[in-house]
Structure 1
Amino acid sequence: MERRHFLRASVLGASTVAFSGSLWQGAALAAPAQNATGPYGALLAADSNGIQLPAGFTSQVIARSGRTVPGTSYTWHNAPDGGACFADGTGWIYVSNSEINPGGGASALRFNSSGTVTSAYRILSGTRTNCAGGKTPWNTWLSCEEVSLGLVYETYPFGGTAAVQRPAMGRFKHEAAAADPVRKVIYLTEDESNGRFYRFIPTTWGNLSSGTLQVLVAGSGTSGSFSWANVPDPDGSPTATRSQVSGSKSFNGGEGCHYANDTVWFTTKGDNRVWQLNLNNNTYELAYDDSLVSPGTAPLTGVDNVTGSASGDLYVAEDGGNMEICLITPDDKISPFLRITGQSSSEITGPAFNPAGNRLYFSSQRGTSGSSSGGITYCVTGPFR
């Protein structure tokens, strides 16, 4: 039984099936993802937007940096980065960070049931280098500053409420966040070459104004068991949060983070890895390592933002590489899902599915120009499984 099949089965069948510790151990030691033909087949020639997709999928440009979003009077922000979707009646909202300094912040696009933009607006202003972030179960967007002593800002995609600083979640070079409603915690990555992996335990679930910041403690290997330890001074001054706890595990450039079914995945760009924490038994392992892929060359380099689909597939965006979003299936196979051509000086950011799971939003942060003013936000529609 492959490890993510096992994880899904353990959640869906927990009320009727008991699993032994030995079976858990066998599932946890599955090998990192290997090359295979993707579930949607080979990529076709680039379409009119310069995107190579499998048969049955189509792309469209939703917004361009510095230009008015079609159908609105709102000018789309520069350097679009991390994003997420929120259900909104019969439609949905896609939020996107702006990774510029100064300025930063985040914007939102509201769609009707047919996927047409009906409005666009600002939800966060005056911040710095807002890179990734994460969605909460109470429908807010955590926008993270990727700067020294950066903050997490809780923003409100539906509008009408001002964004709020959440300093209790720590001051460090924040990257991404992922909410775990089972354990009632928020996981956080740190974009430093010796960054750490954190979790924030709110005093009250749904209120991020106070709580406890913890850091992952583990050995130096690529698999094993882990525990959590409190970070004494979450404000990171005078001692950086990553240097406060002896035995905390170092990760080389934390990037994207995604939670589903008692598992959290996160990426590290410095070594092109996707890590997997098995939260039911407190073990960790590699879901992907570009140095361990066979046969042939590794399809995924420059690992960055990550999201998941209802089927359990992981979609990992590249910062560089071949400008691909790669797909890792629950049975540990990896393949390119799409490739953007003619934009080698950019990176892919903000992958997120709409609530129905049939549209994937993402951006090319610097587009064809290679500058932050050239960002392009796309939507891919098709028969996602």
Structure 2
Amino acid sequence: MAKGPVDPVPLKAMGRFTHEAAVVDPKTGIVYMTEDMDTGLFYRFVPKQPGRLRAGGTLEALRIPSMPKAYTGKDFPLNTPMAVDWVTIEDFDPVDDTVRVEGFDKGAAIFAGGEGACFAKGEVFFSASNGGSAELGQIWRHTPGRNAAEGGTLELFVEPNDDALLDGPDNIVLAPFGDLFVCEDGEGTEFVRGITPEGKLYSFARNALNGFEFTGASFSPDGKTFFVNI
């Protein structure tokens, strides 16, 4: 960790697209990234040297081989892990916003508004804020393979299609007791929702001050204090 100012070197190999969240697998150094677009993809960056992103690497987008060019926003099976692989993005630093176009042309899956992500117990959970038949949001679970050569699986973990349960999921974090905490960015009153490992939802906190979203959910190192912004 830097102790003072550092040179702001752009990490171009990680892609020029509408970045949202990024999380790192501590075992492999692979960085998983969401894209805040209704036609966005889910990416990973495989570094040449884990922990040294400046050294470069390979940008890839998730593909479901059994459903190439899948649109996951509607009519996607719930709680059904599917094998995935990853397509290489060759033009990772284009002049125009074409990274997701290249990925989709190669069969990558589209996610409806990629938002928050967290690495939890060896898995990546991420939000699609506009996914689902009611466009109220989805929570996805990606289980990586044992190494970069193995694609892993993808599962639609939560899609309630009920704004009383979930509306516009955004930031997401793992609580120390094993549940996920999800910050809403939807319409009306905003909540922090809890999700159990079994996929059951409950309300943890409500913004009684105004109509703005919760952001930046995190826990103290000892797990005893939960921080959140408005």
TM-score range (shorter-chain normalised) is 0.7 to 0.9
**What aligned pairs does 1:220-259 form with structure 2 within 5 A after superposition?**
220=70, 221-222=76-77, 223=80, 224-238=82-96, 240-245=98-103, 246-259=106-119
**What aligned pairs does 1:101-120 form with structure 2 within 5 A after superposition?**
none
Does the C-alpha gap of structure 1 residues 302 and 239 become closer, same or farther in structure 2, counting only changes over 3 Å?
closer
Q: Separation in 1 of the partners of 2:97 and 2:10?
A: 21
Q: Output the amino acid matched with 2:100.
A: R
Query: By how many angstroms is 1:310 displaced?
Result: 2.3
Q: Does 1:275 align with 2:140?
A: yes
Q: Does 1:189 align with 2:34?
A: yes
Q: Does 1:212 align with 2:58?
A: yes
Question: Which of 178, 196, 215 pairs up with 1:329?
Answer: 196
Could you tell me the percent identity over the aligned residues?
A: 34
Does the C-alpha gap of structure 1 residues 339 and 239 become closer, same or farther in structure 2, counting only changes over 3 Å?
closer
More strand, by proportion: 1
Q: Separation in 2 of the partners of 1:234 and 1:250?
A: 17
Query: By how many angstroms is 1:162 displaced?
Result: 4.5
Q: Output the amino acid matched with 1:275.
A: W
Q: Which residue of 2 aligns with 1:286?
A: 156
Q: Secondary structure at the residue paired with 2:13?
A: helix
**What aligned pairs does 1:27-66 form with structure 2 within 5 A after superposition?**
none
**Alignment root-mean-square deviation, CA:** 1.9
Q: Secondary structure at the residue paired with 2:53?
A: strand
CA deviations 1:46-81 (Å, max 9, x no partner) are xxxxxxxxxxxxxxxxxxxxxxxxxxxxxxxxxxxx
**What aligned pairs does 1:1-385 form with structure 2 within 5 A after superposition?**
139=1, 156=2, 159-209=4-54, 210-218=56-64, 219=67, 220=70, 221-222=76-77, 223=80, 224-238=82-96, 240-245=98-103, 246-271=106-131, 272-280=137-145, 282-291=152-161, 298-321=164-187, 322-344=189-211, 346-364=212-230
CA deviations 1:100-146 (Å, max 9, x no partner) are xxxxxxxxxxxxxxxxxxxxxxxxxxxxxxxxxxxxxxx5xxxxxxx
Q: Which residue of 2 aligns with 1:4?
A: none
The unaligned stretches of length 5 or more in structure 1 are 1-138, 140-155, 365-385
Tell me, yes or no, if the aligned pair for 1:193 and 1:270 is still in contact at 8 Å.
yes
Q: Give TM-score scaled by structure 1 length.
A: 0.50
Q: Output the amino acid matched with 1:230.
A: T
Query: By how many angstroms is 1:163 displaced?
Result: 4.0
Q: Secondary structure at the residue paired with 1:244?
A: helix
Q: Separation in 1 of the partners of 2:61 and 2:9?
A: 23
Q: Separation in 2 of the partners of 1:253 and 1:303?
A: 10
Q: Give TM-score scaled by structure 2 length.
A: 0.82
Q: Secondary structure at the residue paired with 2:166?
A: coil
Q: Output the amino acid matched with 2:173.
A: T
Q: Separation in 1 of the partners of 2:215 and 2:9?
A: 24
